[in-house]
Structure 1
Amino acid sequence: MSDEPEQPSQREDFPMQWMIYGATGYTGRLIAAEAARRGLQPVLAGRNEAALRVLADELGLRWRQFPLDLPTAVEEGLRGIDLVLHCAGPFSATSAPMLEGCLARRTHYLDITGEIDVFAHCHAQHARAQEAGIVVAPGVGFDVVPSDCLAAQLHRDNPWATSLVLAFEGGGGFSPGTAKTSVEGLGSGGRVRENGELKRVPLAWKTRTFTRDGADRMAMTIPWGDVYTAYVSTGIPDIEVYTTASPKSIARIRRLRMLGPLLRMQVVQRWLKRRVERSVKGPDARTRADTQAHFWGEVRGNGRAQVRRMVTPNGYALTVDASLGIVQCFLDNPAPPGGYYTPSQLMGPDYVLELPGVAIVGPV
């Protein structure tokens, strides 16, 4: 069923109206289906009217179609919406216009990005979000709920920490949106944080090993969102993030360093993304159910060190539960004061431990 724009419903005697934008994408569909199963009744939205109609009819939900390249269309599409869960990537292109619409409409903004520059842009709107009285909380999925909460736990329990290392090992493969974001990252190089400042470094700048089940996993530095968000959450000045990879994969990534200028060219980016669209479909239900993710967190300072390891469900399964858990909190409780929040600031460091299948499995 279509959904005609309504007047805002911020009063206590009206239920909060919320929207999933990008509902017909890989992750958006997973979230929409689970939201419907839970009886949460989101408005489904996106750019493809035909796909929206089919999905909305299947789930028995309302829908709206509007693009993000016209500010007036975004504002009209958000009329009467109190909260948006934005799932349409790559967020480097879609986050800013959606956020502007949310600021204009006084609509709370959540997304599932993992992109450093998107976090930085959202954080830069903190004062505007305060003035509008809206929460701006990017990264409410696998990027970066588990790692951000792990970082915040370690800082809470070890306030002396001056350096933080995070690492993860995923399973099950990428969605098309995540793969496209990775393509963008090839031309941008790596990032770390030193003395509180973001620093550009080469791809796979450092390598090291992390131990799981008695075996060492080789890993390389990547520009994961926590390079930005963990500093906001903890204030720890030196931060590196790693992902596990085979020595062959690390060598291949390092060979791409010399192609940086070529990989940044728009024509090359478009060609690579078209290849992603043709070849990447995302993990199926069985793969999501059969795979897990593992996280390591390590803090150091004053001659001391603390290591903690955490296991979670597959990243896409966790994204569904983490994002909908945060939406449910808004539906059930008064919204926090307006402004920018990391997941651990919004929900607390232990929020991730409330999610199904998440557990601390290493030293505490």
Structure 2
Amino acid sequence: MTWMIYGANGYTGRLMAKAAVARGMKPILAGRRREELEAMGRELGGLEVRVFGLEPAALDLGLRGVTLVLHCAGPFSETCAPMLEACLRAKAHYLDITGEIDVFAHCHQQDARAKAAGIVVLPGSGFDVVPTDCLAAQLKRDLPDATSLVLAFEAGGGPSPGTAKTSVEGLGKGGRARIGGQMTTVPLAWKHRTFDRDGEPRTAMTIPWGDVYTAYVSTGIPDIEVYMAVPPAVIGRVRRLRLVRPLLGLGPVQRFMKARVEKSVRGPSESKRGKTDTLVWGEARTADGRELKRQLRTPNGYDLTVTAALGITQRLLDGGSEPGFKTPSMLMGADYVLGLPGVTLVG
């Protein structure tokens, strides 16, 4: 089967392409920047390169003969819909590495069309949201009557440019939580609390992470909150942004903040990724107060994104998967994350 990495010249796309070749895989490298892509193709042993944008005609030509697209070109709020439409037309599996709630919702809405096309649509095939989704599914499996779910993570190493731009977009949309089964807009840094890491408390605030959408699809648990560990000073700064949140979504403000990201954010180096890990917490509770807690330790989020997404890619290339919208745990099973390199249960 012929498959493609779109956005292969971006930060995560480059990591993905190099790791794929190391596994003996031969993806097509695709995106909009010919010079960078052709240099990568030569560097990685003569891989095929296709250069095209996200206009329908260009996409249809670019995806000709392709059976799977691993979409790595964010922000996915802008790029998912045209690429997904092209995949539906081409009958090519669609994967991406988003963490954006609205993107998950859009992809889920295409479930019937994906089934009709005979393809799998699985957004969030990387750190967003493989470890948290699998942990949620494990907790639901082991505490079947859970009615509330809390997920949290502490990630080191710093963001890539794409992740930073997505965070900028999120500031203008406010927080999100799942309450009574419904997606609900809440204030920025709506709640804060602490989580234990190796005997030390970590302060954390609620964030609009993708699991607020996907964990409900995977588990049916009606109340879901997701937290990110940050210093108390950061929580204070984010809460002060509530006063100007309507301004943060304005086009000129968004463009200014994203331009700052392009100038200052490069993504963690290989050395920094190797020295930083991530801890993921999960807590499930029942209506009568029973509780189940679990922790995962994983490699740096970008390294986990590569191994998780390529594992899902290989599964689809091998065939035999039922079509339609999937979360990682729905396609790969709740324990998939435990088989990825460097992932361990804590305690």
TM-score (norm 2): 0.99
SS at match of 1:240: strand
2:229 counterpart of 1:251: no
Residue 335 (structure 1) shift: 3.6
Residue 4 (structure 1) aligns with: none
Query: 1: CA distance between counterparts of 2:257 and 2:319?
Result: 44
2:324 counterpart of 1:324: no
Residue 315 (structure 1) aligns with: 301
SS at match of 1:44: strand
Structure 1 stretches lacking a partner, 5+ long? 1-15
Residue 62 (structure 1) aligns with: 48
Query: 2: CA distance between counterparts of 1:272 and 1:246?
Result: 22
Query: 2: CA distance between counterparts of 1:109 and 1:360?
Result: 30
1:92 partner amino acid? S
2:267 counterpart of 1:306: no
Q: 1:290-327, CA deviations, whole angstroms, 9 ceiling, x for partnerless residues?
A: 11000000000122001101100000000010001111
2:42 counterpart of 1:53: no
Query: 2: CA distance between counterparts of 1:346 and 1:141?
Result: 14
Query: 2: CA distance between counterparts of 1:204 and 1:261?
Result: 15
Alignment of 1:282-297 (within 5 A): 282-297=267-282
1:196 partner amino acid? G
Alpha-carbon RMSD across the aligned residues, in angstroms, is 0.7
Residue 224 (structure 1) aligns with: 209
Among candidates 114, 122, 126, match of residue 111 of structure 2: 126
Among candidates 40, 60, 80, match of residue 65 of structure 2: 80
Among candidates 130, 150, 168, match of residue 183 of structure 1: 168
- Alignment: residue pair count: 345
1:93 partner amino acid? E
Residue 203 (structure 1) aligns with: 188
Alignment of 1:134-173 (within 5 A): 134-173=119-158
Query: 1: CA distance between counterparts of 2:122 and 2:279?
Result: 24
Moved >6 Å (runs of 4+): none
Residue 57 (structure 1) shift: 1.1
Residue 100 (structure 1) aligns with: 85
SS at match of 2:146: coil
1:147 partner amino acid? T
Query: 2: CA distance between counterparts of 1:47 and 1:258?
Result: 38
Residue 329 (structure 1) shift: 1.4
Residue 329 (structure 2) aligns with: 344
Query: 2: CA distance between counterparts of 1:178 and 1:268?
Result: 18
Among candidates 164, 189, 197, match of residue 212 of structure 1: 197
